[in-house]
Structure 1
Amino acid sequence: MTRPDHPYLPGVRRFLPVTGGRRAARNRVGLALAVAGMVAGTSAVTTSATVANAAVGATRTVEYRGLRLTVPAGWAVHDLDRDPRTCVRFDRPALYLGTPGADQRCPARAVGRTEALLIQPAASAKTPDRSGSGATVRKLVPGRSTSVASGSAADQEEYFDLTGTGLVATAAYANRPALVEAILAGARYNGPKRSGSSVRPGRAGTAAGLSDPPSMPAGSTTTRFRGQGFDTCAAPSASTMRAWLASTYRSVGIYIGGVNRACPDGNLSASWVRTVAGMGWRLTPIYVGRQAPCARQSDLGPIRSANPGGQGVDAAEDAIGDAKRFGLVPGSTIYNDMEGYDTSSTSCRQIVLAFLDGWTRRLHDGGYLSGVYSSASSGIRDLSNAYVSNTFARPDVIWTARWDGRSSVWGEPYVADSKWSVHQRVKQYRGPHTENWGGRRIEIDSDRVDSLQGSAKFVHEVISSGALVTREGPGAAYPAVGTRESGASVTVLCQTAGSLVGATNVWDRLADGTYVSDLYVDTPNKRGYSSPIQKCRYSYMVWTDALRVRSGPGTNYPQTGQVLYGGMANVVCQRAGTTVGKSVVWDKLDSGGWIADWYTTSTGRPGYTATIPRCS
């Protein structure tokens, strides 16, 4: 970024594997197996019989994220969300549910083919390069008949986007394609629909135009930072970032991708992110996608007038792939760089907002938060004018470019302080200039940051005397999930309070969503939280006019503050309290206060949200 309405050199887009679908599952529901002969209901009975006939045997039903399937009783069922290292093999009859891990435990040699199915969230699904094979990702409404053998692919694999579910299916077959066809034809989906926008309770009896909430999968957390930051076109070397610890800056903007990104990866890599985050730097991921057709700079790749929302979805999918490639986990905020444009064109403004609407919705479906960078007088003003809308998905964070030299995110002329009011703002207050810290010179823009950032991973070693038990939540009372051997490396996302173990109540949340006591991990502080590991938090918007923050989980506790409409609730845990609306769930905020969960966009309401732990 070079000035609030700055010119930007067009970059070269990297082509990544295309994801198998555009809508991601929102409820992180664990695998539920219903070991029964038939699904309840007349149509399900027919389905079971059809599958039984095709399989020549008994059946059982399996439910995954609202999708219910009837499969042969002899099929193995593997929960990849719980054990991502399970080898996905199509030479054995099996149903695989979840996202395959990057390092599967596969044999050195496996040859053969039979009938099998892989069902995974669309956000994490990647179909292989099928150039010239004739294979495509086909749309399929669950329960509709299809022919898996109708494609021309020689390897007998078909890919289906299961419309409205946020899931995609890979169907493999040998001599009995009818079996797989029967399973897909008998599928039933009872989860939240993924087509169109959700209508949620709103202001003064109207439907609130709040963003669809992010899905926040198990391996996610949001990271908050308040302080000074900078951004620069190319990621500095790790040694320069270490030298710049002598500065007042502690947040750095990194350009991760986009058709208009000028500087390539260079130093930027997953290793660079781990190293720099380990120094204590917070990260602001920037994606320079297609620009307004009325952009002030004429040589930028523009948003096309046809289906701008779909182009925003495409940009978000690419950005999610970039973020994962650099080790930025779900829960991270990714900022779309929308350069300054001519606001006198109504059609251009509408195209920009439609693009950003698609951007936000797709990021949320993928478990990421949405940020938008733009000049104060164009993009930020238009976003502010659309703050209350029944159709527009508002971004979670705004980044205002206004070079007035005032290092404050408040008091901006184009956006009221009541909007994006809770750690939801960045301001670029000074344009290109050179600074020297620790003997290293960089040309930078200066930022004031009070916002949600990218979330990195931290690798540490298990130091228990024996195998360390991993648990579903931060406490010894939670069910055991597995073990980690002493000396093994574990990937820590964040830390949270839980039951007391030894002298500490700090628990570490791992990348697979499980928890271990921090006492048995070689983090620096054995009695408390360890910087730079962030505290675990999960961020959702508030949809009421002014939500009271209380000192405890109930309306009988004193009010200590409030969260304005559209403000962010940064939740650390949940517990039961007095009934509000249709929910007894209360959220503890990272500030220590409590709010009624009913008035947030958390995905579990009116019940508990699966990824948020219970308060101890």
Structure 2
Amino acid sequence: MIRPDHTYLAGVRRFLPVTGGRRAARNRVGLALAVAGMVAGTSAVTTSATVANAAVGATTPTSDGVQSARAGAGRVATLTKGATRTVVYRGLRLTVPATWAVHDLDRDPRTCVRFDRPALYLGRPGADQRCPARAVGRTEAVLVQPAASAPWAKAKAPASLGRGAEVRRLRPGRTTSVTAGATADQEAHFDLTGTGLVATMAYGDRPALVEAILADATYTGPKRAGGGTALSGPAGTTGLSDPPSMPAGSTTTRFRGLGFDTCGAPSATTMRAWLASPYRSVGIYIGGVNRACPDGNLSAGWVRTVAGMGWKLTPIYVGRQAPCALQGDLGPIRTTNPGGQGVAAAEDAIADARRFGLAPGSTIYNDMEGYDTRSASCRRIVLAFLNGWTKRLHDGGYLSGVYSSASSGIRDLSGVYVSNTFARPDVIWTARWDGKPTVWGEQYVADSKWAMHQRIKQYRGPHTESWGGRRIEIDSDRVDSLQGSAKFVHEVISSGDLVTRKGPGTAYPAVGRRESGSNVNVLCQTAGSQVGATTVWDRLADGTYVSDLYVGTPNKRGYSAPIPKCRYSYTVWTDALRVRSGPGTNYSQVGQILYGGMANILCQRTGTQVGKSRVWDKLDNGGWVSDWYTMTTGRPGYTATIPRCP
């Protein structure tokens, strides 16, 4: 983030720069409006209308992915003489009259769905709605919900509802007559092809208005079948079809707690002294054309040393910046082929990560400083760059993170969370210097997005702290996210050669040997078959396993901190994946993972069939999910790099 020795405009020094931005360079930030925007979370971009009942804020996405958008000219605008508002729900963009209320039913399921008032209802109607004792009348209104939540959508359209009406298939943006096939109560039901959504269109004396709403609709989300799930999972979800190709010697590392970042890596002595602090994660700048501080103390040996102390690591890469960046002295993304520049940045970041001993499965965060969101072309360049960044990291076996200001990069990423063209980063790091150490309740990112240990918030900008007699100037972070994966060096203590195996158990084939007294690079630990007094097995950096009994880790009966448990993190591609108490649909539901959330998998085993797969994943919280709905690379079978559950 930017140093406090910048030249600020008079009277705003206490606010610090807009982004809480990085130490990309030590020059100037000359925009007082930008500074105030960082602190207040404001933006120069406004929307075309304000939503009546605050279910959808002017710029605030709600919990189910509803968000406002700019109104555009179309049939609805013609009928209403231009007075419209536009919202996006799960990738479906709808334009409705500006006078309509918009209700988020997933956020407030007790809202009464009424067709006697002009309104747009988004989400599944609740079972206990707060409806009046008496309401009569009929006007134009629209209800859009996931197909799985609409009982009448179970049959393949066109199908009879039993009252003379039909469920009709309709591609968003196509014209149709709502009166054809409707019932005497003047309702028409549509399965919106490829969206996983269904719509009920009610009308009074203006059926042309709801017909115009359908005709103006557009859809940019992943292709889904009726029932709310993707047609074939990854094959039908371009925006989500880019899972990391994690090799055998990989693992993801997760941390939840306080962290800090600073321009140069502190000495190992300072890091040991800072164990007296509340922080346990440290941001390290590993490379990039706009990185201000050189390697300094940072090396593969430093990474091993501080990881051995118990520190978790947040790798940061400061690549090319937005052409409209608020700081004017940064190397910009060139306008020609920004996606290719993102790919090149990712390749360089992977090489840097390997140089510092960060294993595949690590998350690398691209630092995208705050920029002027009023420039649509600039926003497109940034998103194209980050799209290339994410895809190339995944190809190399690493996970993608993005750091940016709340009101620029993070807001723009949130706007393409559901997309069939953009590869969403796995995790986000939001800069908002409001002093609140929580990753939730962000103005520009609904809590339903990046919701499963996929967030960091930089809540305080540059300041100096002293712990253990050592002073560092830092930014403070709240971390609930994936981190870098380090290697832990331990000695082989077996009496003879130690056999390495393909999996965590003696039943797995032997693949090699390690001499007694030699060192091994341990990535993580997992459960396996019992050897002596322990069931713990160590996964090595080459992807093989050895019994922890024969490795000089501290605990000979259980897991040894700070070595993490082996995890394999993949996103979920269905709207809400049920987490169950066991590997089957007959087990009770104990939670859920929302669309785009991360399934942090420990191991796999066979369970009841779901879709085309009988594989179930055990999560690091003890729950189970059907593997069919995750982005694992082995589905519908087992994924080779994930071990079988013992």
Q: Given the two structures, how large is their TM-score scaled by the length of structure 2?
A: 0.65
CA RMSD of aligned residues (A): 1.5
Does residue 524 in structure 1 map to residue 558 in structure 2?
no
Map 1:158-197 to 2 at 5 A: none
Does residue 310 in structure 1 map to residue 340 in structure 2?
yes
The one-letter code matched in structure 2 to 1:590 is D
Q: Any gaps of 5 or more consecutive residues in structure 2?
A: 3-16, 27-220
Indicate the larger mover: 202-211 or 238-247. Answer: 202-211
Query: What is the distance in 1 between the residues matched to 2:412 and 2:478?
Result: 21
Query: What is the distance in 1 between the residues matched to 2:617 and 2:474?
Result: 39
Aligned with 2:378 (options 311, 334, 348): 348
3-state DSSP class of the match of 1:450?
strand
Aligned with 1:548 (options 560, 570, 578): 578
For 2:249, the equivalent position in structure 1 comes to 219
Identity %, equivalent residues: 82
Aligned with 1:357 (options 387, 396, 416): 387
Query: What is the distance in 2 between the residues matched to 1:538 and 1:205?
Result: 22
Aligned with 1:452 (options 455, 471, 482): 482
Query: What is the distance in 1 between the residues matched to 2:326 and 2:541?
Result: 42
* 1:279–1:205 CA distance, 2 compared to 1 (3 A): closer
Query: What is the distance in 2 between the residues matched to 1:204 and 1:415?
Result: 23
Map 1:192-341 to 2 at 5 A: 203=228, 207-208=236-237, 209-341=239-371
Does residue 467 in structure 1 map to residue 497 in structure 2?
yes
Does residue 499 in structure 1 map to residue 529 in structure 2?
yes
8 Å CA contact 1:4–1:374 kept in 2: the answer is no
Query: What is the distance in 1 between the residues matched to 2:566 and 2:373?
Result: 40
The one-letter code matched in structure 2 to 1:534 is P
Does residue 535 in structure 1 map to residue 571 in structure 2?
no
3-state DSSP class of the match of 1:384?
helix
Query: What is the distance in 2 between the residues matched to 1:566 and 1:379?
Result: 18
Query: What is the distance in 2 between the residues matched to 1:264 and 1:562?
Result: 43
Aligned with 2:637 (options 599, 607, 610): 607
The one-letter code matched in structure 2 to 1:442 is I
Map 1:360-379 to 2 at 5 A: 360-379=390-409
8 Å CA contact 1:211–1:392 kept in 2: the answer is no
Aligned with 2:616 (options 586, 592, 595): 586
Query: What is the distance in 2 between the residues matched to 1:546 and 1:405?
Result: 32
8 Å CA contact 1:224–1:452 kept in 2: the answer is yes
Q: CA deviation at 1:483?
A: 1.3
- Describe the superposition over 1:174-226 as per-residue Cα deviations: whole angstroms up to 9, x where unpaired: xxxxxxxxxxxxxxxxxxxxxxxx98867555743215000110110000000
8 Å CA contact 2:498–2:546 kept in 1: the answer is yes
- Describe the superposition over 1:99-132 as per-residue Cα deviations: whole angstroms up to 9, x where unpaired: xxxxxxxxxxxxxxxxxxxxxxxxxxxxxxxxxx
The one-letter code matched in structure 2 to 1:483 is R
Map 1:480-491 to 2 at 5 A: 480-491=510-521
3-state DSSP class of the match of 1:525?
coil
Aligned with 1:569 (options 590, 599, 602): 599
For 2:447, the equivalent position in structure 1 comes to 417
- Describe the superposition over 1:124-175 as per-residue Cα deviations: whole angstroms up to 9, x where unpaired: xxxxxxxxxxxxxxxxxxxxxxxxxxxxxxxxxxxxxxxxxxxxxxxxxxxx
- Describe the superposition over 1:551-601 as per-residue Cα deviations: whole angstroms up to 9, x where unpaired: 111111111110000000000100111111111111000111100001011
Q: CA deviation at 1:311?
A: 0.3
The count of corresponding residues between Structure 1 and Structure 2 is 430
The one-letter code matched in structure 2 to 1:605 is R
Query: What is the distance in 2 between the residues matched to 1:369 and 1:200?
Result: 24
Query: What is the distance in 1 between the residues matched to 2:451 and 2:504?
Result: 30
Does residue 514 in structure 1 map to residue 549 in structure 2?
no
Q: CA deviation at 1:545?
A: 0.4
Q: CA deviation at 1:403?
A: 0.4
- Describe the superposition over 1:285-309 as per-residue Cα deviations: whole angstroms up to 9, x where unpaired: 0000000000001110000111100
Q: CA deviation at 1:466?
A: 1.4
Q: CA deviation at 1:468?
A: 1.1
8 Å CA contact 2:223–2:230 kept in 1: the answer is no
Structure whose CA Rg is larger: 2
Indicate the larger mover: 237-246 or 474-483. Answer: 474-483
Q: CA deviation at 1:280?
A: 0.2
Query: What is the distance in 2 between the residues matched to 1:544 and 1:424?
Result: 17
8 Å CA contact 1:211–1:395 kept in 2: the answer is no
Does residue 380 in structure 1 map to residue 427 in structure 2?
no
Q: CA deviation at 1:8?
A: 4.5
Q: Any gaps of 5 or more consecutive residues in structure 1?
A: 12-197
Map 1:12-161 to 2 at 5 A: none
- Describe the superposition over 1:355-390 as per-residue Cα deviations: whole angstroms up to 9, x where unpaired: 000000000000000000000000000000110001
Q: CA deviation at 1:265?
A: 0.3
